Amino acid sequence: QVHLVESGGGVVQPGTSLRLSCGASGFTFSSYVMHWVRQAPGKRLEWVAVILYDGSNVDYIDSVRGRFSISRDNSKNTLFLQMNSLREDDTAVYYCARELGLIDYWGQGTPVTVSS
Amino acid sequence: EIVLTQSPDFQSVTPKEKVTITCRASQSIGNGLHWYQQKADQSPKLLIKYASQSFSGVPSRFSGSGSGTDFTLTINSLEAEDAATYYCHQSSSLPFTFGGGTKVEIK
């Protein structure tokens, strides 16, 4: 059974950093492209970042490029999102999700609130 | 960026009624369109992949159709447990994008 569990969210001030983690189980983690998707309160889902199977290639939505960094540790079946220079409009629930041509499974999400 | 426009934004429906939700893409995406159900305080769940293929374990009352720029999600004979927000999503090209969502309320 596919299981994705995010952690690391919290309440932080603007300009600070946060590192999210996503533990994967129930599937061969290294065989899947992985994504972070976020959802601000009352808003639509917004794709944030993607990382290929071995971490060799990554991409980001323009609004986080240069501030966020996605990475993975296939030996520990874990996905990461390093978020720096956080802004109030980064406030959202952050989901990790796996992809094999399409996003098929999502974690339960971890909330991030950026507020002064 | 491919923009997905969903309609309607909200629908209030009685049980056993049929629900139709549409999603229009700003450019052709072939069949790279998928539908998700998100219940309150839960993560999205995949219902329909590649426009018309049912995902494993999804009830047969959910179906999808369309290709290119125009897509439809149909819920036949709505049940109370179907109260949720439904999103379309394209994986044709990065950045992946999502529709604005359609909230389905049970009368």
Mean pLDDT of A93-116: 96
Best interface-test mutation with B: which of A103, A105, A110 has the largest number of B CBs within 10 A?
A103
Q: Do residues B103 and B52 lie in contact, with contact meaning Cβ atoms separated by under 8 Å?
A: no
> What pLDDT, in 10s, does the model give residues B63-73?
999 999 999 99
CB neighbour list of residue B91: distance below 8 Å, 6 or more residues apart: A99, A101, A102, A103, B32, B34
**Using a CB-CB distance cutoff of 8 angstroms, which residues of chain A are in contact with residue B91?**
99, 101-103
**CA B85 to CA B104: how far, in whole Å?**
6
Bin B89: left if φ > 0, else alpha if -120 < ψ < 50, else beta: beta
B99:A107 CB<8 A: no
Report how far Cα A11 is from the mean position of its chain's Cα atoms: 16
With 90 as the cut, is the pLDDT of residue A37 above it? Answer: yes
B32 to chain A, any CB pair closer than 8 A? The answer is yes
**Using a CB-CB distance cutoff of 8 angstroms, which residues of chain A are in contact with residue B43?**
95, 106-109
Q: Give me the half-sphere count of Cα atoms (radius 13 Å) on the Cβ side of residue A80.
A: 13
> What pLDDT, in 10s, does the model give residues A38-67?
999 989 999 999 999 999 899 999 999 999
A103:B34 CB<8 A: yes
With 90 as the cut, is the pLDDT of residue A100 above it? Answer: no
Q: Do residues B37 and B84 lie in contact, with contact meaning Cβ atoms separated by under 8 Å?
A: yes
A101 to chain B, any CB pair closer than 8 A? The answer is yes
Q: Which residues of chain B have pLDDT under 70?
A: none
CB neighbour list of residue B53: distance below 8 Å, 6 or more residues apart: B64
**CA A111 to CA A39: how far, in whole Å?**
9
Instruction: Return mean pLDDT, chain A.
Output: 96
Nearest to A44 among B49, B55, B100 (CB): B100
**CA A95 to CA A62: how far, in whole Å?**
18
With 90 as the cut, is the pLDDT of residue A79 above it? Answer: yes
A50 to chain B, any CB pair closer than 8 A? The answer is yes
Q: Which residues of B11-27 are buried (b: 16+ CB within 10 A; e: fewer)?
A: bebeeeeebebbbbbee
